[in-house]
Each structure stands twice: as structure tokens, then as C-alpha cells.
């Protein structure tokens, strides 16, 4: 398979250790631990931790006001499935105070994988996968007393099977909300755009579908996920082995009746690279720089294992011909030359791989599976630098281990898009629960100034940062 990689500079690799505030003994070193690693300049301080009933298999995160909502990857009858409600009004002492269980969510063979909140409507949005009925997007009232006891309002059954979604609120008409749903299929339509403005009335209007025709198909050319510019005019596509490119979504932003997404990057000129390909893609606020992550599982999964996946920074100033500026390989285990140091069990059943990002102007926070949460400076996109890293001490035991990510020796699986609220960072470890962190280090003022920011919606400070 041919690969189109336009690169301005070579790879940037770093070997890191965790730096922990002495008052936080729960911060652990990387496992497996290399013999000698440099110190990072900043640190994460652990503010609070909620193990989420030690159920394991946690999923997406949503935060609103004084509550956090955490989904579940479990598709079966295991205990504590469904969405857990966590009181985070005191971030140092988060506590589970409720759950969305059957029949609204958490029913047999149903998961709750992706969560967002539409704050102006007090709606929690949950994408679930179920057998045999198929995926659903459910909407729950979380206003007032419903914060701890969400009530199912409506259910949307998409015409295509979504994998993830981006929530876009129209900045000119905040009563208008749109979901961009990625469809992880190699053939047929791969993007579904749906207006959910009337979700409280149970009305949903599918606005557009789109698919790419690749002249040189790869082994997994599915659209894994996407993000949308805060103004709504561009979509940044993470297409796994088909790579990265950009869509013009101005028709949707203008609320045209029959919008048509159009590629700005010609499909034949998209960026591609070896490996499993782009998992997530977000544009850095106020900059024509895109950050992508590659998620790679262990070698038990075909084609996985060391060196797993890492971050790329892409110059998107010429949208027709984006250019890779740098590769940030945060760990020695993202370097193929070091793979001989990995034991077979770790290589088979773990993932030292990047996953989901949230970014301020000059910082990116990236969940990195068994390697925890990473803060990366991006002020010089040709030379990204490590700022801080947090790896939690894993729980002794959980109800269910992830068969591909925590069934082996590694028991940390940092997973969700980090959420910044009131200067604190909320993040979910698939196995070990919800963590509330503070960051100190380069560009820490950018974090402390945030009221709300997440990588998979344009809520909160996203538009303000983009207009700077």
C-alpha cells in the first residue's frame, strides 16, 4: 500500500519519567520502567479520584456543573454497567451518587460508549451500542434535581451505525445543535450529520451523509473520528489507514437546507502514514496546526504491539496539501529500535499508545493508555516537548478487565478525552476510574483561565480561544 507523507522535519522522540508532587504518593512510575529517563519540567497534582465502584471497562466522560457522567464499555450483564453519576462539587472528594440503569441505559448487551452534554438544554447525550437492536443516541434531562437522577427524554436511532461523534453548537444560534457522527465502515457512507435541535421533542433531522472514494484502498479505510472547527466551517477527519484530510462544512454552518460536505484536501493528496493510521484529529485553537493521534492495541490484535502509536503535528495552513511538521513519540516504546526491551506479555496485551486529545493554544493533553496522561507543549509545532505526565496507581482488582487493554500485566488504561473545567482536568482511566488533576508547568496560565474545554465539542472556551 502506498503512503503519502509530506514531512518538513524528522521524528521528535522523548524518553520520560513521571514527576509527582511529594504530597501525592499515588502517582506511579511508568511500567515497564526504562533504566534512565530525563525529568519533565512540569507535573500533574492529584486532586481527587473516584474508582467508579471498581467495575472496570469505563468509557466516555461528560462534565457539567458539579457532576460528572461516565459511561461503560460493557455490553453484557456485568454488575454496575451503564452511566455512573459522580458528584464533583468538591473535586477533592468525588463520589458516585447515581446511575442510569435499565431500562433507559445499561440493559443487557448495551454499552454507553460516548457522552457529551448540551449545557444550555440540560441534556446528557449518550451514544450506546446494543445487540441486536443496533446503536442509539439517547438524550437525558439533567436539569436541577435531575443532575443525580437523569431522566430519559428521547432516543435517536441513526440510519447508519456511528462509532463516535462530535457535538457542534451553532455560535450564532445556540439553540441549534448538530452531531457529526463517524461511521467506521470501509464502504458506503462514512459520515452522518444530524440536527438534534429538537431533541427534547424527539425530532431529529439527518442533514447529510458523505463518503470518500479512495483510488488505493488500504486494509482499514474507515472514518474513526473527526472534529469540527468552532465556527463550523471545517471538519478534520481521522481516517485510520486512509489518513488525514479536511472537509468544507460551511453549508452546515450556514444552515443550508441540503448541505453538502466537500473535501478541501483532494482525496488523492491526503496525508497517510504506515501503521493503523489516524485515530483522532483536532485543530489547535487559533492556529492552523492539527494534532493527530494513532491508537494501536497489543500484538494480540492484528498488526499491533510495539512501537504502538503516537502524536503527529500537521501544518494545515495549505488545506489542499497539509504537511507533517513533527512526530511526538513520548516513550521509548514508541521507538521501533527499543521494542526488544518489551516482554511478550506486555507486547501482546497492552497499549503504550496515544488515544484522545484536548488542546489549549500551546498545550495538548493526550491520554496515552498504559502510559497515563501526557501534557505536551506545542508552541513550536516542529519541536513539541514533554511538559508533564501522570500515571495512576492501578486498583488491586476490578470487576471486569478489558480483554485487549488490561488483561495482561499493564493495569493502567487512560482513555477519555480530557475535560478542563474551572482550571482542573477531568479524565477517565478505562480500568481505574475518574481522576481530577491540576497542572503546573509551561503555559499553566492557559489551563487556569479555562472555564470549560473538551476535544470533542465546541462548547465553553473553544470559540473564544479560536478567535484570539
What pLDDT does residue 283 have? 98
pLDDT in tens, 220-251: 899 999 999 999 999 999 999 999 999 999 99
CA distances from 418 to 173, 298, 456 (A): 27, 23, 10
Gap between the Cα atoms of 122 and 120, Å rounded: 6
How far are the Cα atoms of 33, 52, 210, 327, 393 from residue 371, in angstroms, in the given order?
Answer: 11, 20, 35, 17, 11
pLDDT at 14: 45
Set of cell numbers at residue 120: 444550555
pTM above 0.75, yes or no: yes
pLDDT at 72: 93
- What domains are defined for the chain? 11-56+171-466 (2.130.10)
pLDDT of residue 13: 47
pLDDT at residue 43, rounded to an integer:
95
pLDDT tens readout for residues 11-30? 454 444 343 343 333 333 34
- For residue 339, give the 3-state DSSP assignment: helix
Length of the chain, in residues:
468
Whether 76 contacts 102, CB under 8 Å: no
The parts of the chain modelled with pLDDT lower than 70 are 1-38, 75-80, 102-109, 468
For residue 111, the model assigns a pLDDT of: 87
pLDDT, residue 76, reads: 57
Long-range CB pairs of 96-104 (<8 Å, 24+ gap) are 96/50, 96/52, 96/53, 97/148, 98/148, 98/149, 98/150, 100/126, 100/140, 100/150, 104/138, 104/140, 104/152
Separation in Å, CA 400 to CA 54, 77, 80, 108, 350: 9, 11, 10, 16, 16
- Measured distance CA(40)–CA(389) in Å, rounded: 8
3-state DSSP assignment of residue 103:
coil
Q: Retrieve residue 286's grid coordinates.
A: 487559533
What distance in Å separates the CA atoms of residue 267 and residue 44, rounded to the nearest whole number?
A: 40
| CA dihedral of 438, 388, 5, 243, whole degrees rounded to 10 | -30
pLDDT at 220: 86
Amino acid at each position: 500500500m502506498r503512503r503519502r507523507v509530506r514531512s518538513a522535519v524528522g521524528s521528535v522522540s522523548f524518553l520520560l519519567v513521571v514527576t509527582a508532587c511529594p504530597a501525592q504518593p499515588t502517582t506511579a512510575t511508568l511500567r515497564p520502567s526504562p533504566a534512565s529517563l530525563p525529568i519533565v519540567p512540569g507535573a500533574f497534582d492529584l486532586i481527587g479520584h473516584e474508582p467508579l465502584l471498581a467495575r472496570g471497562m469505563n468509557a466516555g466522560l461528560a462534565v457539567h456543573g458539579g457532576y460528572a457522567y461516565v459511561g461503560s464499555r460493557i455490553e453484557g450483564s456485568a454488575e454496575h454497567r451503564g452511566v455512573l453519576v459522580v458528584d464533583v462539587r468538591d473535586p477533592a472528594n468525588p463520589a458516585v451518587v447515581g446511575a442510569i440503569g435499565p431500562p433507559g441505559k445499561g440493559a443487557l448487551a448495551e454499552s454507553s460508549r460516548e457522552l457529551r452534554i448540551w449545557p444550555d438544554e440540560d441534556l446528557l447525550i449518550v451514544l450506546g451500542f446494543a445487540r441486536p437492536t443496533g446503536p442509539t443516541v439517547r438524550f437525558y434531562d439533567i436539569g436541577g434535581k435531575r443532575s443525580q437522577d437523569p431522566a430519559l427524554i428521547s432516543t435517536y436511532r441513526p440510519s447508519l451505525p456511528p462509532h463516535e461523534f462530535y457535538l457542534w453548537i451553532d455560535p450564532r444560534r445556540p439553540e441549534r445543535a448538530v452531531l457529526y457522527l463517524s461511521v467506521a465502515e470501509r464502504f458506503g457512507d462514512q459520515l452522518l450529520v444530524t440536527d438534534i435541535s429538537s431533541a427534547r421533542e424527539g425530532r431529529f433531522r439527518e442533514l447529510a451523509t458523505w463518503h470518500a472514494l479512495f483510488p488505493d484502498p488500504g486494509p482499514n479505510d474507515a472514518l474513526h473520528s473527526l472534529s469540527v472547527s468552532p465556527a463550523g466551517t471545517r471538519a478534520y477527519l481521522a481516517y485510520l489507514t486512509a489518513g488525514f484530510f479536511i472537509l468544507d462544512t460551511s453549508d452546515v454552518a450556514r444552515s443550508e437546507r441540503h448541505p453538502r460536505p466537500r473535501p478541501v484536501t483532494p482525496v488523492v493528496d491526503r496525508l497517510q502514514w504506515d501503521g493503523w493510521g489516524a485515530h483522532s484529529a483536532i485543530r489547535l485553537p487559533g492556529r492552523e496546526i492539527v494534532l493527530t493521534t494513532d491508537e494501536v492495541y497489543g500484538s494480540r490484535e492484528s498488526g499491533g504491539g510495539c512501537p504502538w502509536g503516537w502524536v503527529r503535528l500537521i501544518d494545515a495552513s495549505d488545506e489542499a496539501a497539509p504537511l507533517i511538521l513533527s512526530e511526538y513519540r513520548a516513550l521509548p516504546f514508541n521507538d521501533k529500535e527499543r521494542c526488544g526491551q518489551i516482554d511478550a506479555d506486555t507486547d501482546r496485551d497492552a497499549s503504550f499508545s496515544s488515544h484522545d486529545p484536548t488542546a489549549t493554544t500551546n498545550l495538548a493533553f493526550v491520554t496515552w493508555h498504559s502510559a497515563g496522561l501526557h501534557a505536551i507543549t506545542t508552541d513550536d509545532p516542529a519541536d513539541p516537548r514533554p511538559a508533564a505526565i501522570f500515571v495512576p496507581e492501578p486498583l488491586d482488582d476490578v470487576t471486569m478487565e478489558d480483554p485487549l487493554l488490561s488483561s495482561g500485566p499493564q493495569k493502567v488504561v487512560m482513555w477519555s478525552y480530557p475535560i478542563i473545567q474551572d482550571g482542573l482536568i477531568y479524565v477517565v482511566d478505562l480500568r481505574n476510574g475518574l481522576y481530577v488533576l491540576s497542572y503546573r508547568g509551561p503555559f499553566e496560565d492557559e489551563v487556569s483561565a479555562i472555564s470549560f474545554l473538551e476535544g470533542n465539542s465546541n462548547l465553553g472556551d473553544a470559540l473564544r480561544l479560536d478567535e484570539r
